[in-house]
Amino acid sequence: MFATPKIPLSPKHHLYADMRNFLGNQTLHYPFLYMFLYSCNCLVFWLICVVLLSGCLTGVPNTLNVITNFPFLVVGVLGFVLCLQRNFFNIILRGELWGWALFYAGTAGVAFGSAYYHLKPDDNRVMWDTFPMMIAYSSLFSSFIVERMGEKIGLSSLFALISFAFLSTAYGIKYNDLRLCMAFQLIPSVAIPGMMYVFRPKYTHSRYWLFAAGIHVLAKFEGVADRKIYRVNRYIISGHSLEHLCLAMVPVLLSIMLMYRNMKFQSLVE
């Protein structure tokens, strides 16, 4: 951090490639949008239709950047409920339950925080977009640590990482410096693949961790190439909107892992 210059927020940070508003009957001029959403998830499709139709009179500012957050809500809520049921996901340790439940809660929080920010992007709202993501990253990383290194270390890291998420957010707001927040979001994508080769897994299907890390990195590239992607696909959907949809695949992949994995070393949980 000390080797890099300060990264302040600027007006350019809030200028995305696609800032279209769907107003009135204009919404009906984009049939590709309905077909795409319907092919993804019927529940998401109907939720987004409600938003679009309710916005026909008042409009939905930055529409695609707002509605592409709904998959986070669907996956987050479903994952949180299934975690609490304890009989759908293969979660054995109490430390894992805490971590995964907070991960799904943070994922659902991203839907609200990011949608709120994208309705009117500015410096005052950006942390509502960032903080739920940091909670999700903290919880996910701690769940991985529980799985690979042990429950005590994982629980300790959970509280430490969440505290660091609070401090990073507060630092970013007070000093107008995004370095801590940006580093915090990138660390799990680098650390998890590296730790996979150092610590052996307790469960099968651990390759899904790599899939999730790869999707996360791809999503970040889509965000960086926001305008280029928007031009390449002839202004249908921007890189930032695709980043949202791509990031929503991370909890989907990890949910599949939780459903199908089994213990590899029974003695490790004793």
Q: Which of 53-62, 224-233, 244-253, 259-268 has the lowest mean pLDDT?
A: 53-62
Question: How is the chain split into domains, by residue range?
Answer: 11-19+63-269, 22-60
The pLDDT value recorded for residue 35 is 53
Mean pLDDT, the chain, rounded, equals 84
Cβ atoms of 197 and 185 closer than 8 Å: no
Beta strand extents in the chain (DSSP E only): none
Q: Which residues are 22's β-sheet partners?
A: 60
Cβ atoms of 239 and 225 closer than 8 Å: yes
The span from the CA of 163 to the CA of 180, in Å, is: 13
Short-list 107, 49, 52, 40, CA closest to 76: 107
Render pLDDT for 22-52 as a digit per residue (tens, 0 to 9): 754 454 445 555 555 555 555 555 455 545 5
Render pLDDT for 189-198 as a digit per residue (tens, 0 to 9): 888 988 988 9
pTM as predicted: 0.84
In the numeric block, the tokens 């987050």 are attached to 76
CATH domain 11-19+63-269 topology? Rhopdopsin 7-helix transmembrane proteins (1.20.1070)
